[in-house]
A and B are shown apart, each in its own frame.
Chain A
Amino acid sequence: MLLFGVLLLQLARIQIMEHAQYEAQAQSNRFRTIPVLPARGLIYDRNGEQLVENEPILSAAVVPADVQEEKFLTTVAELAGVTGVPPQEIGDDIMRARDSNDPFTPLIIKDNLNETEAFQLRERQGNLPGVHVLVESVRQYLPGITMSHILGFVGRIDEEEYAELRSEGYGINDRLGKAGTEYTYEAALRGSAGYRKIEVDAAGQEEREIAHVDPRPAGNLALAVDADLQRKIAEILQNGMGPSQNAAAVVMDVNTGEVLSIVSLPSYDNNDLTDPVNQEALPALLNDPAKPMVNHAVAEVHPPGSTFKQITGTAALQDGIASTNTTITSYGSISVQDEYNPDVTWVMKDWAALGTLDFYRGLAMSSDVYFYYLSGGFYQDGVEVFRGLGAERLASYSREYGLGAPTGIDLPGEASGNVPDPDWKAETYKDSPVASDAIWTLGDTYNFGIGQGYLTVTPIQLVRVTAAIANGGKVLVPHVVHAVVDENGNVLKAIEPEVQHQLSISDQNLGIMREAMRQAAVYGPARTGASSQVTIAAKTGTAEFGQQLANGTYQFSHGWYSAYAPFENPEIAVTVFLEKGIGATNAGPIAKQIFDYYFDRQRLAQTEGTP
């Protein structure tokens, strides 16, 4: 009787007192909630051309909680046999997942099974509880190499991302955008998951569905980018980049900030990097010194050279340092006495002895001496004979134009670039053994004024400088996406034009700059970019880098060209960057071909539209 009393007490304890707890455990044994993701959103260009497809693949998976102990070794051996994944690895992964707090989510052993593998696994499935062949969806990028930096790619969630995103409903097997718009518009492209609640038996086999909530369809992206233009520019840039390791070109709508094309060369095929990753292609991509995976239009910084004179010029006009009548004579160079050692004289060269120049001609001919004066002033025997802007004012205007900070473009990995000033230099070189290294000199201001020295920018920053001049001072946030749309093309969320801020420079002064850039494209070095289809306004830039040669020039230079068109009623701004090249000689002709193609195509479309 005593024995039965003990049993009754224990029974009463677990059946009556702890009933709720065991009831909950029985329920969680029995029911599983499986998230159901909508198909990932598609991506279209601005004209409706489809750029991405979702493709089904088959994956070998195992639910760790469902592998029966006595079949553990068989399960591991069979999985290893079919997939070729080492059994040790599979066994360790299953053990680890079992000890985790989520042993019910399928563990992917191998994705992208071929038909034979999938067939073999399906045959064995019946005897191996927990083993499944899953249908997963992967991305196929239709444009191949030309739009990889824009579209990006998706990949499996990694441990860090999972830790961060699991609260938002991400599962351990989910894929998510890792680069490009796949990354920046992840939330829209993913949509929101629904779920199925199912009853399962001890082997994890579904008995019946208890409930389901359909996922909400994901949003599709309508890009601002024009795929046709993108392809054409990639071709033009490829042909014109010469010895450059890399090159970039950006076309932006000057009124909306929409990016019609953004090309970075060399590029890569994002089909190699999207999950499942093409492991054979990976080492070459990672080791290539030209860095094909980097979007050079947004992620890399270089000194802008004379294209920066757009900023120096408008700043000088606005601050009253210069007017259209300000004349300066370039003898080919100016001499600067060293501030600390009067015996040393620095010679700052112009690219040619350009004679006496007014503001228009100074900019159009891209006289360095003219802009040395505007930025740093001019001193004779220690006496100021021409008052310049000074580094602080120049830096302040540069920041107004959006330099030194990300533009906020909807692509990841954007670089800020650098706007130098005396404080920056003091901070940066404070630990230098030579104390004078940290001191800002007049030479630094001169270099800054012509876009050399410590100043660095990205092509996307520069294109919106030109656009701001063209549109009357609006510094726009660039966008590669036009809108998030539903499957019928209805706009779910429009990416509205966004003015980051309005320049403090008057439209009159911006108008002087526009006229000067127009003249540059007519008779200055920038005429190499003049289009037969449209009137343009432009500025070249050639920023020296590498070793200084005996004659005072440098081994290499970056070639820049930044322009807008039509001059009368600006629509687009174009910036071209060549890692090696000269602005007028190499970058200009590329811009010309871009303008030719764009406006020729526009004219053709209009003629077709009005028969």
Chain B
Amino acid sequence: MNARIVRLRDFDPLLLIAALALVALGTMLIYSGSLSHWGEPKASDFSHPVVRQGTFAAIGLVLALAFARADYRMLGVLSVGLYIASVAALAFVLLFGDATYGSRRWIEVGGTPIQPSEIAKLVVIVALAKYFSDREEAIRTWRVLLTSLMIAAIPAALVFAEPDLGSAVVFAAIWLGMVIVAGARWSQIFAVIGSATIAVPFFFIGLVTDYQRERVALWLDPERDPQGAGFNILQGRISIGSGGFWGKGLTQGSQTQLDYLRTETTDYVFSVLGEELGFFGAMLLFALFVVLIWRGLRAAELSKDMFGRLIATGLVIYILLQAFINVAVNVGLLPVTGIPLPFVSQGGSSLITLFIGIGILESILLRHRRFNIGEFYHNG
């Protein structure tokens, strides 16, 4: 591993600030969303959603700084081990995990539920980056392309079986984005996409469970079960629609405060935002994501090596796609999937994974210059 010059001036404060601003906004929404069930948060009450989220954010921040300080190339060395561990964890969840709302996604570790699929997404990004960067030109061969596809497909299949269709789609998108950046031939990419498109109908009939089919059917027509499974879809849309341009004010949304919204601190936290902060609040949220993505892409561009560029690209796709899917579900453009809104939704696994991602981006930025005359120190 070559020694790199690390310049603190290359630390991107805007990236971290955008992430922290999203967490702050999210915590406010979680506060409002949890009021009716939990009341005002007390610092000593670790089970309160606001306290939990604050705690995870603090841990996440520490981890982000630690990963920024560490050389991201070290991850390349660990990638095989991390990948095997992640796939094992996903398999474990599938066999022994706790079920919520009809799917197994959680394992309990020391009393804290962990969702391995979030961490697995980060690991797949690293693994793919490592695999491609070791084979720069060979990406144009079918063997490498299909092997990379397998790297993404194994965890995707495991989360799909949970069942978590949304996360499986995220894996697919991460793979696609990284393959493009890695320099695969467009003809190859279209061939893969083409065969996938042909496979979709068979896949939908053969592999998709009734549970997932019902979700799609409900998305197409939530009125078919307004009190049951269609309830969230309808109530989410009512919440957002009734918010109008300026919203009803934080903690003032009748839909949120009277419990018409369910999972209002996690999957449907955007509906709380839509109701209480309105279209204005949504634009603010989007602006923060735009900043985050812009700074992420900048990191990809500045990265000195293919490994860093691929990781940064994967992370940007990961954040962008999760944000898109979550909001699209809330506004009724996609069927319900259970994808959290990055940095905003309540959830330790997701938050910590995201902060690690920010740390890795910063690590890439800190190490993007070979020569420097200013203050520096050696790392590794």
| A interface residue numbers (CB < 8 A to B) | 1, 3-4, 6-8, 10-12, 14-16, 18-19, 21-23, 25-27, 29-30, 65, 67-69, 72, 98, 103, 199-203, 207
* Assembled-state Cα–Cα distance A14/B238 (Å): 9
Besides A10-B331, A29-B238, A65-B227, 4 other A-B contacts (C-beta < 8 A): A4-B289, A7-B333, A8-B283, A27-B242
- Most chain B CB within 10 A, of A1, A23, A68, A202, is at A202
Given contacts A4-B290, A7-B286, contact A14 B241 (CB under 8 A): yes
Known: A22-B238, A200-B258, A202-B259. A15 touches B243 (CB 8 A): yes
Instruction: Give the chain A neighbours of B241 by CB distance below 8 A.
Output: 14-15, 18-19, 21-23, 25-26
What are the 7 closest A-B residue pairs judged by CB atoms, nearest first? A22-B241, A69-B228, A26-B242, A202-B259, A201-B258, A14-B241, A15-B279
Whether A29 lies near B260 (C-beta < 8 A) is yes
Q: Determine whether the beta carbon of B333 is less than 8 Å from that of A6.
A: yes
Of A3, A11, A30, A200, the contact of B240 (CB 8 Å cutoff)? A11
Contact A201 B36 (CB under 8 A): yes
Complex Cα spacing A72 to B231, Å: 14
Interface 1/0 per residue, B217-237 and A, CB below 8 Å: 000000001011101000101
B11 interface contact, C-beta 8 A: no
Smallest beta-carbon distance A444→chain B, Å = 69
For B234, the closest partner residue in chain A by CB is A25
Please indicate which of the listed interface residues B227, B260, B274 has the most CB atoms of chain A within 10 Å of its own CB. Answer: B227
Contact (A14, B254) CB under 8 Å given A6-B333, A19-B242, A202-B259? no
Docked complex Cα distance between A338 and B112 (Å): 110
Please give, as numbers and ranges, the residues of chain A lying within 8 Å of B254 by CB-CB distance.
26-27, 29-30, 199
* B320 touches A (CB below 8 Å): yes
**Cα–Cα, bound, A482→B330 (Å):** 65
Smallest distance from the beta carbon of B103 to chain A beta carbons, Å? Answer: 15
- B161 interface residue, CB < 8 Å from A? no
Whether B328 is near chain A, meaning CB under 8 Å from some CB there, is yes
A374 shortest CB reach to chain B, Å = 77
B148 within 8 A of A: no
Residue from A15, A67, A98 in contact with B278 in the complex, judged by beta carbons closer than 8 Å: A15
By secondary structure, the A interface counts as helix
* A-B pairs with beta carbons under 8 Å apart, 25 shown: A1-B290, A4-B290, A7-B327, A8-B283, A11-B279, A12-B279, A14-B331, A14-B332, A15-B243, A15-B245, A16-B244, A19-B244, A25-B238, A26-B241, A27-B242, A29-B255, A30-B260, A65-B227, A67-B227, A69-B227, A69-B228, A199-B258, A201-B259, A201-B260, A207-B258
Of residues 126 through 155 on chain B, the ones whose CB sits less than 8 Å from some CB of chain A are none
Decide: B255 and A26 in contact? CB cutoff 8 A. Answer: yes
Number of inter-chain CB pairs below 8 Å: 107
B249-266 residues with Cβ-Cβ distance < 8 A to A are 254-255, 258-260
Nearest B residue to A94 via CB reads B227
| A16, B245: Cβ atoms closer than 8 Å | yes
B242 touches A4 (CB 8 A): no
Contact residues in A for B331 (Cβ distance below 8 Å): 7, 10-11, 14
| Residues of chain B contacted by A16 (CB below 8 angstroms) | 244-245, 279
Question: Complex Cα distance A65/B228, Å?
Answer: 10
Q: Which residue of A lies closest to B290 (CB)?
A: A4
Q: Does B300 contact A (CB under 8 A)?
A: no
Evaluate whether A98 and B227 lie within 8 angstroms (CB atoms) in the complex, with A18-B241, A22-B240 already known.
Answer: yes
Please give, as numbers and ranges, the residues of chain B lying within 8 Å of A201 by CB-CB distance.
36, 258-260
A25 vs B255: C-alpha distance when bound (angstroms): 10
A414 vs B132: C-alpha distance when bound (angstroms):
96
The distance in angstroms between the C-alpha atoms of A4 and B331, with both chains bound, is 12
Q: How far is the CA of A69 from the CA of B278 in the complex (A)?
A: 29
Closest Cβ of chain B to A469, distance in Å, is 69
Evaluate whether A69 and B286 lie within 8 angstroms (CB atoms) in the complex, with A12-B279, A15-B278 already known.
Answer: no
Q: How far is the CB of A5 from chain B (nearest CB, A)?
A: 10
> Please, which residues of chain B bring their CB within 8 A of the CB of A68?
227
Known: A29-B254, A69-B227, A202-B259. A14 touches B239 (CB 8 A): no
Residue from B229, B260, B328 having most chain A Cβ neighbours under 10 A? B260
A99 to nearest B CB, angstroms? Answer: 10
Bound complex: CA A27 to CA B242 (Å): 9
Q: Which of A23, A67, A199 has the most CB of B within 10 A?
A: A23
CB distance from A43 to the nearest CB of B (A): 43
Which residues of A are found within 8 Å of B231, using beta-carbon distances? 69
**Chain B residues whose C-beta falls within 8 Å of the C-beta of A29 in the assembled complex:** 235, 238, 254-255, 258, 260
B258 touches A69 (CB 8 A): no
Which single residue of chain A is at the shortest CB-CB distance from B243? Answer: A15
Cα distance A29–B237 when bound, in Å? 13
B34 to chain A, nearest CB (A): 15
* Residue of A8, A29, A199, A200 with most partner-chain B CB within 10 A: A29
